[in-house]
C-alpha cells in the first residue's frame, strides 16, 4: 500500500526533474493540449491509487485509461479550437470532478486504515 504511494511520488519527482532538464521548449500553441494532458495524467494517477486501495487495480485498464483520457482531452481541445468553442473545458471539468471524488475516496480509505 504505502510502497505504491511512495513509488508514485518518487516517479513524480523523477518526472519533474526530467522535464526540467530536457532542453526542449514546446511552442506556445501546444500549451493548451499539454495542460489538458497533464490534467488527464493527474486524474489517472489518483484513479490508480484509489483502485489500488480498493484492491480493484487492473494494469491494462489503468494504462489504457491513462492514454485514452489524455488523447481524448487533447482531441477535445483541438476540435474546440477549430470550432471556436473552449471544448477542453469539458475535459477540465470532468477530470477535475473525478479528481476531487477520487481524493475524497482515498481520504476515506486512509482514515479507515488509520482507525
Partner 1 sequence: MKLPAKLPAYLSLALVAVVLGILIAFQFRVTRHIEQGVPAGRAQELALELRQLEKDKSKLKAEASDLNLKLDRATRGQAEAEKALEDELAKARLLAGLVPVTGPGIEVTLDNPPQQPDGKGPASLYTIRDEDLLRVINELRGAGAEALSINGQRIVAQTEIRWAAPFINVNLTRVVPPYHILAIGEPENLKSALEIPGGLVEYLRDLGVQVSIRPYERLTLPGYTRPMEFRYAKPVLKG
CA distance 73 to 80: 10
Task: Please report how close the Cβ of residue 29 comes to partner 1 at its closest, in angstroms.
Answer: 10
Establish if 45 lies at the interface with partner 1 (CB under 8 A). Answer: yes
CA distance 36 to 33: 5
Establish if 31 lies at the interface with partner 1 (CB under 8 A). Answer: yes
Provide the grid cell at 49: 491509487
E strand spans, the chain: none
CB distance 77 to 36 below 8 Å: yes
Task: Please report how close the Cβ of residue 66 comes to partner 1 at its closest, in angstroms.
Answer: 5
- Given the rule CB under 8 A, which residues bind partner 1? 3-4, 7-20, 22, 25-26, 28, 30-31, 34-35, 37-38, 41-42, 44-45, 48-49, 52, 57, 59, 62-63, 66
Amino acid at each position: 500500500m504505502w510502497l505504491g504511494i511512495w513509488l508514485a511520488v518518487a516517479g513524480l519527482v523523477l518526472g519533474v526533474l526530467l522535464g526540467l532538464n530536457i532542453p526542449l521548449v514546446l511552442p506556445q500553441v501546444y500549451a493548451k493540449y499539454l495542460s489538458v494532458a497533464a490534467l488527464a495524467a493527474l486524474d489517472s494517477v489518483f484513479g490508480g491509487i484509489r483502485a489500488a486501495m480498493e484492491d480493484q487495480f487492473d494494469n491494462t485498464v489503468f494504462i489504457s485509461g491513462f492514454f485514452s483520457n489524455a488523447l481524448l482531452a487533447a482531441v477535445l481541445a483541438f476540435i474546440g479550437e477549430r470550432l471556436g468553442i473552449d471544448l477542453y473545458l469539458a475535459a477540465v471539468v470532468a477530470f477535475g470532478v473525478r479528481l476531487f471524488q477520487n481524493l475524497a475516496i482515498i481520504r476515506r480509505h486512509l482514515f479507515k486504515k488509520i482507525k
